[in-house]
Amino acid sequence: MTFRSIARELLPGICLLAPDLRGRGRSAKLPGPYGIEEHVIDLLAVLDDAGATSAVVVGHSMGAYVAARLAAEHPDRVSGLVLLDAGLPFPIPDDPSSLLDNAVTNAVMRLAITFPSADDYVEGWRAHPAFAGAWNADVDAYARYDLVEDGGVARCVASGEAVRTDSREMVLDEATRTALDRVSAPVQLLRAERGLFDDEDSPLIPAEALHAFSSDNPRARVESVADVNHYTLVLGDGAGPRRVVAAIERAIA
């Protein structure tokens, strides 16, 4: 559902496969093991099931790290790589264990929050600063798809164990951290100039990291997209999805 706005804008004849990753969406109840390597295995199965020998692979947020691993380790299956506001290695903090424990604990705690109804859950998303001025039917559908109602309460359907494992590996797993350095396919990177809460001060990809990547990878196409945040780069009523579509269509061409 993250790619709903993008799918609508793609040229006719382009086939978009948008699977729910293990531990999320309709794949939330799939058993472990979890982690980036398992996501890569699952995506290869998706390509095989579709009869796609190769594809342009697009990843947003955590999905960018999965896409980079797929491209690095299975270059014959990836004809182009489009990374959306993620994919560059995180700086390793002085005390990574403590930082990750806090971050992952907070994420898992948020997954455990319950709401009286699906509408209340969606209203929580609607109040998020990222969607001020960008809310539309696609964002509404995205929010509703991500919840489950059980015993008279609504909550996020994602697996806490999956979120915990993926978060740790994005930062600390060496194969994931270095994946982008090993990609041979053409790379496009789109960076949102605003962060998770539509803030100008905390983009997920700092300007200096973007500049360093551009300097080290002169053949990669790097774009900084103004007036979008981490979410509205791909979703909602704004220019972000159209910029992503242009990148995908360039990769296909």
pTM beyond 0.85, yes or no: yes
Share of the chain above pLDDT 70, in %: 92
Q: How confident is the model at residue 91 (pLDDT cuts 50, 70, 90)?
A: confident
pLDDT at 26 over 70: yes
pLDDT at 24 over 70: yes
Q: How confident is the model at residue 111 (pLDDT cuts 50, 70, 90)?
A: confident
pLDDT at 98 over 70: no
Domain residues of the chain, as ranges?
A: 4-95+169-252
Please state the rounded mean pLDDT for residues 30-34: 94
Phi, psi (rounded to 5 degrees) for 82: -120, 115
pLDDT at 95 over 90: no
Please calculate the CA angle 152-155-156 and round it to the nearest 5 degrees. Answer: 155
Please state the rounded mean pLDDT for residues 50-59: 97
Q: How far apart are the first and last CA of the chain?
A: 25
Render pLDDT for 203-220 as a digit per residue (tens, 0 to 9).
999 999 999 999 999 999
Q: How confident is the model at residue 89 (pLDDT cuts 50, 70, 90)?
A: confident
What pLDDT is attached to residue 57? 98
Please state the rounded mean pLDDT for residues 32-55: 97
Domain 4-95+169-252 is of which CATH architecture?
Answer: 3-Layer(aba) Sandwich (3.40)
Per-chain mean pLDDT for the chain: 91
